[in-house]
Chains A and B, each alone.
Chain A
Amino acid sequence: GNSVTQMEGPVTLSEEAFLTINCTYTATGYPSLFWYVQYPGEGLQLLLKATKADDKGSNKGFEATYRKETTSFHLEKGSVQVSDSAVYFCALKAAGNKLTFGGGTRVLVKP
């Protein structure tokens, strides 16, 4: 079956530091890949997505590249801010409606 593995948090870093959250997946076929973010007390918001190999999704300074050869979709941001403190979820969607999520990575950015 399909699965998504994310690095466990929490990830604690200082403002303006470089952030990487690793995500690897197992899926049949050619899934679409997503990163969602959940700020404290809120639901999930789509951060970015990529629908085919070598696509790069980007939004709000975050980027992730769909790497089929390594089955990965790592999330990166060059300079984080306190407001980026949240839980980040990697997810995949293969054929059908089901979205498979990773366990989430909590990120805490300190001033």
Chain B
Amino acid sequence: ETGVTQTPRHLVMGMTNKKSLKCEQHLGHNAMYWYKQSAKKPLELMFVYSLEERVENNSVPSRFSPECPNSSHLFLHLHTLQPEDSALYLCASSQDTGQGQETQYFGPGTRLLVL
């Protein structure tokens, strides 16, 4: 596997379910990100992890819970979601050097549908 992978690619869940999205990067990067892409809305940054510590949380509801066990893996745990949470969830990674020029590389996304 190369680049950034995400599983599952598609997920349908009920509002009472608990599920997790997984992201894995094979690029040796030290920063990982979760984004939400909804129809007709700009990409929204949800969480940023740098060196396995959460450095940004953009007012995301607590029903979304991220976890970064090591620099290669990032999870997004989902529970009691709402239908408006249906979206494409994108993971990205970068090599954070503190210079502000690092390129973020994206995975293919998980298409989530909440019924």
Contacts and interface: CB of A to CB of B under 8 A. Distances in A.
Contacts of B101: 32, 51, 93
B42 A32 contact: no
B106 A32 contact: no
Interface centre among A44, A102, A103 (most CB of B within 10 A): A44
Interface of B: 4, 6, 31, 33, 41-43, 45, 48, 50, 55-56, 90, 92, 94, 96, 100-109
Interface residues of A, number: 23
13 contacts: A32-B100, A34-B103, A43-B90, A44-B90, A44-B106, A45-B106, A93-B101, A97-B31, A97-B50, A97-B102, A99-B45, A103-B42, A104-B42
B48 A97 contact: yes
A96 B43 CA distance: 18
B10 to A, nearest CB: 10
Nearest to A32: B101
B45 A98 contact: yes
